[in-house]
Amino acid sequence: MKMILNERQHAEEALEYGKMDKKPTKTLVCIAKLCLEEGKSKSDTYNVLHEFMAKSYPNYNTVHWESFFYRVIHQATRYIKTRKERGKKSLIEIEHVSITHKELNQIRELRSKRLEKLAFVLLVYSKINNQIHENNLYWINHAWSEIYSDTGMAVSKKDQGLLVYKLIHSGLLKESRRFDSTSVQVLFAHPEDAVAIRLTRFDDFILEYLRWTGETVKDCSVCGKRVLAKSNRLKYCKNCKKKLGK
């Protein structure tokens, strides 16, 4: 998942250990939000961004980044202001997403691995959106490429649309009526039921659905990454296996 689900944690780890998203701008936005939320002035926030980049970004060039920092600070200020006006938290801090038995059973009833995987990912995204927007509407408006990338399936553009249509047709999804919108709403959320899966990590989270359906999923004993295991002896993920020369 490309989204940063815990902006506070992301910003704190960036400042402490120099960790950075693949897209540095995402990290800068989180840091700016954290500083401003803590009550720092815009110029102090600028200095924090500057020091962070000087320390953590190879070939950092002040001139190149200056106007960019101002833009990030301006955007973060506006964002925090709007969120506060609406009585919402200024930073996104998602710790977990819970999926219930009833939701999983309904997904399973689709009896098509491809549709099941897509439905599971959509449910997770909709619950994340609810937490971000602090509502219970289960709307999703992410890029389909991003959603499909989390299903772990290679699906052609044409089939992507077809699978979504099938979920709409089975009554699991609703399309937005706005003509310019690609939003869909998840209609199979049953948060009142008992929790079956509690997601706390969002890398390869589709594997938690496969684990629930009875497939063997193991955690790499070096890095902890989840791996779909064909044999019970599997110990490492592909990357770690390569590094260890096994």
C-beta closer to Zn ion: residue 132 or 240: 240
C-beta closer to Zn ion: residue 134 or 203: 203
Collect all residues with Cβ–Cβ distance below 8 Å to 38 and sequence separation of at least 6. Answer: none
d(CA 119, CA 158): 17
Collapsing DSSP to helix, strand or coil, 178 comes out as coil
C-beta closer to Zn ion: residue 8 or 225: 225
Q: In 10 A of CB 21, how many CB atoms? A: 15
Collapsing DSSP to helix, strand or coil, 113 comes out as helix
Q: Tell me the C-alpha to C-alpha distance, in Å, between residue 152 and each of 52, 57, 96, 155, 192.
A: 34, 31, 21, 9, 28
Is the separation of the CB atoms in 96 and 199 below 8 Å?
A: yes
Could you tell me how many residues of this chain bind Zn ion (CB under 5 A)?
6
> What is the closest distance, in whole angstroms, from the C-beta atom of residue 234 to Zn ion in the complex?
11
> What is the closest distance, in whole angstroms, from the C-beta atom of residue 202 to Zn ion in the complex?
17
Determine if 8 is a binding residue for Zn ion (CB under 5 A). Answer: no
> What is the closest distance, in whole angstroms, from the C-beta atom of residue 204 to Zn ion in the complex?
11
C-beta closer to Zn ion: residue 64 or 238: 238
Q: Which residues from 195-234 bind Zn ion, rule CB under 5 A? A: 220, 222-223, 225
Q: Which positions touch Zn ion (CB under 5 A)?
A: 220, 222-223, 225, 237, 240
